[in-house]
Structure 1
Amino acid sequence: MIQVYEATDVGLVRPRNEDCAVVFEPSTYVVADGMGGHVAGEVASHLLTDTVRRQLSGVAAIGEEELRQAVLAGNRAILDCEKENPDYKGMGTTATVLHLAGDEAYWAHVGDSRLYLLRGDSLRQVTRDHSYVEDLVVEGTITEAEARVHPKRNYLTRAVGVEADLEVDTGRFSVQQQDILLLATDGLMKAVDDDAIGEILRAGGEDPAAELIQQALAGGGRDNITAIVVVCGP
């Protein structure tokens, strides 16, 4: 038995919400954080989520390759839209997609939205951020704490809808009863650290997604915030 909680908020600073999230059968979850001038970020994130849903809805067997192809289809849709609408030039979006099939989880990812797995007391970041500061952290040039306040912390090295040749990260892992999965845009992680995220998920509140959003707003809400929490039964 799976319980799903979903919440999004424009935050306290941004004029519009450029995040988008969808949950659809079979057991598929998507978050996207759009970027671009005018309303282009909002257009890009919705194009990505709508395309992924169309690609995967009703598909009997979904694995890493199916998720990858769905994100690539979203990439093409955004690039095509940009060609037809010059005002949208430069738009793009992150994409983090999760699909559950029995005791297996499959994911695809581009950008700096994240997929987390909470198992017992341990919270693990499954995806790797495609960002300038993450590369510096991996190199050992800066620490995680320094990355959180780095002036280029919002600079992505990879996004959907920017180039025709897009590399999509994918993976799979086994899920267990009482595992909790979190998909979130970076508006959450900017305001709430991993320890606090883990505490909220472990607490088993009435609506953990809404509680994460409220915590991010209390932390300043400087960006749009989106979270999908998937709790694996019983």
Structure 2
Amino acid sequence: MNKLQQVYKATDVGLVRKGNEDNLAVFDAVYAVADGMGGEAAGEVASQMLVDTVRQELSGRENIDAGAMQAAILSANDAIRHYVGEHPGCEGMGTTATLLHIDEGKGRAYWAHVGDSRLYLLRPGQAQLEQLTQDHSYVEDLVREGTITREEAKRHPQRNMLTRAVGAMENLLVDTGELAVAQGDTLLLATDGLMKHMTDEEITRLLQQGAADPAQILVQTALNAGGRDNVTVVVVSLT
């Protein structure tokens, strides 16, 4: 891990769920969060397969970019689908995947993404953090179409329905991107257990407070607000 990247991570099962289907990975300036789905142990297996495959594909590799992370997600997609083929009882399992790599030598950040976990950016002096990824969900499509409002999406009965998930489809589309980063920037990866309980404005205020462990505080805030879901957070600050 690069010494100029201060990293904080936390995950919790929450106050309602019996098991934690979230997973995370932090290695070689690569950061990943994954939120499994499928019920019973299937979601946990899917998210673990995702982070294991990402680590296997990218660990020790030079010149990681968005294309490399996209390829790692597609490898995980194949692995999960193969697993389901051998375990019919796990039909329907899958996972979100949000990956980030920061190359400080180039001053660039690269990301790849599937599902409704998120990647945010907060710059010094910025009034509110910016969501870099787009949710792949049914309600997000309705919001973009203007059919429902952002507030209505939070209460929609199908708000948890994903339109893309790793392992759920043969021809998976992976969103990718890159951007310039600099000293003072903060990047946040989070599963939807955080966003269910905190608005972007609340997350921004907490990150701006400069807490000793912002990831743990974000997770605890979600738990204090009800903890209806597993919640996982990785915060990367460029010092």
**TM-score, with normalisation over the residues of structure 1?**
0.98
Q: Does 1:203 align with 2:206?
A: no
Summarize deviations over 1:154-209 as a string: whole Å, max 9, x none: 01000000111100000000001110000000000001111110011111101000
Offset at residue 62 of structure 1 (A): 0.8
Q: Does 1:9 align with 2:15?
A: no
Q: Does 1:46 align with 2:52?
A: no
Report the equivalent of 2:122.
118
SS at match of 2:7: strand
- Counterpart-to-counterpart distance in 1, 2:196 and 2:39: 21
Q: Does 1:59 align with 2:65?
A: no
Offset at residue 72 of structure 1 (A): 0.2
Structure 1 stretch displaced more, 58-67 or 11-20: 58-67
SS at match of 1:191: coil
The answer to whether the 8 A contact 1:41-1:92 is kept is: yes
- Counterpart-to-counterpart distance in 1, 2:119 and 2:39: 27
Report the equivalent of 1:108.
112
- Counterpart-to-counterpart distance in 2, 1:37 and 1:132: 19
- Counterpart-to-counterpart distance in 1, 2:120 and 2:156: 23
Kindly report structure 1 stretches of 4+ aligned residues shifted beyond 6 Å. Answer: none
CA RMSD of aligned residues (A): 0.7
Q: Does 1:92 align with 2:94?
A: yes
Report the equivalent of 1:22.
25
- Counterpart-to-counterpart distance in 1, 2:183 and 2:69: 24
The answer to whether the 8 A contact 1:22-1:29 is kept is: yes
- Counterpart-to-counterpart distance in 2, 1:37 and 1:129: 21
1:149-168 residue pairs with structure 2 within 5 A? 149-168=155-174
**TM-score, with normalisation over the residues of structure 2?**
0.96
Long gaps (5+) in structure 1: none
SS at match of 1:55: helix
- Counterpart-to-counterpart distance in 2, 1:140 and 1:164: 30
Offset at residue 37 of structure 1 (A): 2.3
1:191-230 residue pairs with structure 2 within 5 A? 191-230=197-236
Q: Which amino acid aligns with 1:43?
A: V
Report the equivalent of 1:32.
34
- Counterpart-to-counterpart distance in 2, 1:30 and 1:117: 15
Summarize deviations over 1:83-133 as a string: whole Å, max 9, x none: 111221110000000001121000000000000001123300000000011
Identity among equivalent positions (%) equals 59
